[in-house]
Amino acid sequence: MNLKHTLLATTATLLLAASQTLTAADVAENWTKHCGSCHGADGTAKTKAGRMAGAKDLTDAAYQKQFTDDQILQRLKDGVSDKGKEKMKPFKGTLTDDELKALVAKVRTFAK
């Protein structure tokens, strides 16, 4: 099984696990509300806010390979800072662990 199929299978498994408590609409709503302004609806980060924050193109499979799901989850929980400047706010306390894990799965669906 090649990497693309492995990622798709993993993503499907994660989405299925997350769907036990969250619907696809819930995940889409969370993405739009908390992520879309910077990363865009399609994950390319071609938004004004995304350019200003230096948001990464999540469709870039090579970029995504740099991080495990657990690392992405931690970044969502803790936020991202660079040289003391907040690049992405933390979502710990704003979103549940299940909601954050569902967003990790959504991020993985963008890789091409």
pLDDT digits (tens, 9 = 90+) for 34-60: 999 999 999 999 999 999 999 999 999
| Confidence (pLDDT) at 112 | 84
- pTM of this structure: 0.78
* Cα gap 14→31, rounded to integer Å: 16
Give me the pLDDT at residue 28, please.
96
Residue with tokens 């979502």: 91
Domain ranges of the chain: 24-110
Scan for tokens 């230096």, then name that residue: 54
Q: Which fold has domain 24-110?
A: Cytochrome Bc1 Complex; Chain D, domain 2 (1.10.760)
Residue 75 makes CB contacts below 8 A (sequence gap 6+) with: 67, 88
